[in-house]
Amino acid sequence: MNRALTSERGRKDLALEHCRRVNAGDVDAILELYADRATFADPVGWNVRTGRDALRAHFEEAVAAGLREVPGEPVAGQDGMHAFIPVTAVMDYLPRGPVYAERGWLVPPADPAGKRLKRRCMLLLQIDETGLIRESQAFWGKSDLDVIG
Amino acid sequence: MPDEAFRKAMVQEYARRLNAGDVEGALDLFTDDVVFEDPVGRPPTVGREALRRHLVLSVENHVEETPGESVTSMCGRFVVTPARVVLRTPAVMSLYIIGIVEFNDEGLGCHVRAFWGMTDMTVGVARHPDATAQADATRQHA
């Protein structure tokens, strides 16, 4: 067991490191933080996906859309497993915007050129005893999503 | 199914009632068999009577809960909120919490998970809320 990673501070550092790697745009480095059979829901309540291939596809699309995340202050669970961090994310409107519009999550802009998506979320990470993310749940709803210029 | 605005408003209303010492009003926002994990990782408080004792203790300790901006989920079930909580026991305890409330179809909270660790608690330091917000802003933009 890597105690440094499963301590409260270790789990908070992992959550912040996840944001740093997203902003660096390095998908391989992001995936190194996850266990092989990790599950993720983004957003919670839509669907749950499993495994590295699904994670890679998810982050490759997001990085290609210029995803930038601004983390807030993380907290840790007293269960030895969880970290929870507020994240404000901005990415290009394309390609996800039309998908979200089709689902009724946003009103599409008249001209999507140059538009971006801004999303406030709370990211709940469950971290295994080796310090890898076993489950990632991004909480956000329609009212937490905006189209910005 | 409670909509997103309802779920977000519930959190503000819970804090308002609790800060006013209105334990019965706060209890009315939850089911009779509510499971209340505060903090996650310790044995949960289960049921209205147990939650009443938990909230009465909080009020006796002059609880002051300041919720931040909530987010929700796409399934109609959750609201997630960061909050500052100050208790005076009489030592001043300050907590930074991120809490998940899960709702039933009638819009009552049925499961609460309050995440806060030992590293999210300070004892004996009474920071002004404005100063706390300022420090957060500084940290976020550092």
State pLDDT tens for residues B37-91. 999 999 999 999 999 999 999 999 999 999 999 999 999 999 999 999 999 988 9
Q: Provide ipTM, 2 decimals.
A: 0.95
Q: To which H or E segment does residue A125 belong?
A: strand A116-127
Chain B: give the shortest CA distance to residue A82, in Å: 8
- Are the CB atoms for B82 and B98 separated by under 8 Å? yes
Q: Which domain holds residue A18?
A: 3-148
Chain A residues touching B39 at Cβ < 8 A:
77-78
Q: How far apart are CA A99 and CA A86, in angstroms?
A: 24
Extract the runs of DSSP E, i.e. beta strands, from chain B. 30-37, 45-46, 64-67, 78-88, 92-103, 109-115, 121-123
Using DSSP's 3-state secondary structure scheme, residue A76 falls into strand
Count of beta carbons in the 10 Å neighbourhood of residue B47: 15
- For residue B44, give the DSSP letter: P
Query: How buried is A102 (Cβ within 10 angstroms: 0-12 exposed, 13-18 middle, 19+ buried)?
Result: exposed
Q: What Cα–Cα distance (Å) separates residue B70 from each residue in B4, B55, B120? A: 10, 22, 19
CATH number of the domain encompassing residue A139: 3.10.450.50
Give pLDDT, residue B124.
Answer: 84
Nearest CB to A139: which of B39, B41, B78? B78
Q: Is A57 on the interface with B (CB under 8 A)?
A: no
pLDDT at A5 over 70: no
Chain A residues touching B8 at Cβ < 8 A:
143
Residue range B4-141 in CATH 2.40.240.10: no
User: Do the chains contact at B78 and A43, CB–CB below 8 Å?
Assistant: no
Our count of domains for chain A comes to: 1
| B132 pLDDT tier (thresholds 50, 70, 90) | low
For the segment B11-28, the average pLDDT, to the nearest whole number, is 98
- For residue A129, give the DSSP letter: T
The model's pTM:
0.92
pLDDT digits over A108-142, tens only?
999 999 999 999 999 999 999 999 999 999 999 99
| A51 pLDDT tier (thresholds 50, 70, 90) | very high
